[in-house]
C-alpha cells in the first residue's frame, strides 16, 4: 500500500472517471504532454524551473532526495525525444520572431472564423511546406494556441523529414488502415504544436482520400484544436487541390517572388474561388533584398 506525503492513501479512479468520453481523455493526455514539452528555441529551462514544473503535477513531492532528481531527469529525456526541427530551422524561426509574432493578428483581421487553413501554391517548390511550418509555429509558440499541423501533400510529403519523424502512421492510415486519430497524433517539443504526418497507403491503393471522409475528420479535429494548418498540394500540379480547399475555412496561397508570374497567380486565385474556397491571403516567399537590410528596418519603423 502506497502512502503519499500527506499521509493519505491515493484513491483509485472512480467508475465515472473511467467512463469519460474520448475527447475528455484526449485533452487530459494533451495537457500532460504540454507540461512535459520544452520551451521555444532560445529559452532553456533552469534546474529550478524544471523542479517547479515537476511539482505542479506532483503537489506532494519535495525537492529533496535522489528519487526527485531521477524523475526530473526522466522528464528531460522524455521531452528531448519529442520531434523537433533542426538547429538551423530553429535559428530561422528565432530570427523571424517579429514577423511570426504578428501572424495570428493578421489572420484574425482578415477572417475571424478562419480556424482551418489550407496551404497551397501555384507550382511545387515555392516554399509551401516551410510556410505551413512557420504559420503553425507562430500560432502555437508565439500565439499561445493549440495548433495541429497536417501533412496533406501525399505525393511528396516533407513535414516528417523536417521534424525527423517516421512517415507512418499518419493521415492516409486513418482512411485506409482504420488507425485511430489518437494513434497518428504526435505532440512536438514546441508548446501547443502537434503533428499528423502524411502516412503511407498500401501499394495497390491510389494515394488520395474522399471529400466526405476528410470533412468528417476535420470536424473531429476542430473540436480539439484552435487552428488546423494543412500542407496541401499545389493547384497546378494536382487535380484535387482546389476541390479539397473548399472543406477548409480559408486557403493561403504561397508565391515565389520573381519566379511565378502575376498572371499565373491571378489565374490560380480565380480557380480556387470558383471552386468555392476562400483565399485568405498571399504569402510572398523567397524574397530578394537589393538594398541593405538596415534600410528596410528603418523604413518599417516609420
CATH 2.30.42.10 fits 87-285, yes or no: no
Q: Which residue has the cell 468528417?
A: 216
Q: Are 224 and 27 in contact (CB under 8 A)?
A: yes
pLDDT at 49 (0 to 100) = 43
| Coil vs helix vs strand at 32 | helix
- Separation between Cα atoms, residue 130 and residue 158, nearest integer Å: 9
Taking the domains of the chain in order of start, what are their residue ranges?
A: 15-80, 87-285
Q: What's the whole-model pTM score?
A: 0.69
- Separation between Cα atoms, residue 76 and residue 288, nearest integer Å: 40
Q: How is the chain split among helix, strand and coil, in percent rounded to 5? A: 45, 10, 45
pLDDT at 52 (0 to 100) = 43
pLDDT at 24 (0 to 100) = 60
pLDDT at 239 (0 to 100) = 81
Q: If the chain, 302 residues long, is cut into consecutive pieces of 10 residues, what is the mean pLDDT of each piece?
A: 48 56 59 54 43 39 48 52 90 82 78 88 91 93 93 90 91 82 91 92 56 75 91 89 89 88 91 90 77 70 66
pLDDT at 290 (0 to 100) = 65
Go through 73-84 and write b for each residue having 16 or more CB atoms within 10 A of its CB, e for each that does not. Answer: eebbeebeebbb
- Separation between Cα atoms, residue 228 and residue 220, nearest integer Å: 11
The pair phi, psi for residue 7, each rounded to 5°, is 85, 10
The pair phi, psi for residue 252, each rounded to 5°, is -115, 125
pLDDT at 298 (0 to 100) = 75
Amino acid at each position: 500500500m502506497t502512502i503519499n506525503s500527506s499521509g493519505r492513501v491515493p484513491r483509485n479512479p472512480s467508475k465515472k472517471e473511467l467512463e469519460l468520453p474520448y475527447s475528455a481523455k484526449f485533452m487530459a493526455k494533451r495537457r500532460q504532454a504540454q507540461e512535459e514539452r520544452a520551451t521555444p528555441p532560445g529559452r532553456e529551462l533552469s534546474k529550478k524551473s524544471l523542479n517547479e514544473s515537476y511539482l505542479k503535477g506532483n503537489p506532494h513531492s519535495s525537492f529533496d532526495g535522489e528519487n526527485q532528481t531521477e524523475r526530473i531527469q526522466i522528464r528531460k529525456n522524455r521531452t528531448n525525444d519529442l520531434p523537433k526541427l533542426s538547429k538551423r530551422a530553429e535559428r530561422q524561426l528565432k530570427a523571424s520572431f517579429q514577423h511570426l509574432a504578428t501572424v495570428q493578428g493578421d489572420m484574425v483581421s482578415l477572417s475571424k472564423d478562419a480556424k482551418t487553413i489550407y496551404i497551397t501554391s501555384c507550382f511545387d517548390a515555392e516554399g509551401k511546406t516551410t510556410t505551413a511550418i512557420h504559420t503553425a509555429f507562430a500560432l502555437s509558440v508565439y500565439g499561445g494556441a493549440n495548433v495541429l499541423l497536417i501533412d496533406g501533400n501525399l505525393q511528396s510529403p516533407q513535414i516528417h523529414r523536417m521534424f525527423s519523424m517516421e512517415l507512418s502512421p499518419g493521415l492516409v492510415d486513418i482512411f485506409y488502415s482504420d488507425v485511430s486519430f489518437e494513434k497518428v497524433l504526435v505532440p512536438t517539443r514546441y508548446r501547443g504544436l502537434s503533428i499528423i504526418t502524411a502516412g503511407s497507403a498500401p501499394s495497390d491503393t491510389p494515394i488520395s482520400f474522399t471529400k466526405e471522409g476528410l470533412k468528417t475528420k476535420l470536424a473531429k479535429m476542430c473540436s480539439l484544436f484552435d487552428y488546423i494548418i494543412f500542407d496541401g498540394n499545389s493547384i497546378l500540379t494536382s487535380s484535387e487541390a482546389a476541390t479539397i480547399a473548399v472543406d477548409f475555412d480559408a486557403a493561403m496561397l504561397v508565391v515565389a517572388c520573381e519566379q511565378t508570374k502575376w498572371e499565373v497567380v491571378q489565374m490560380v486565385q480565380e480557380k480556387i474561388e470558383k471552386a468555392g474556397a476562400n483565399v485568405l491571403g498571399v504569402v510572398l516567399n523567397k524574397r530578394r533584398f537589393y538594398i541593405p537590410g538596415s534600410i528596410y528596418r528603418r523604413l518599417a519603423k516609420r
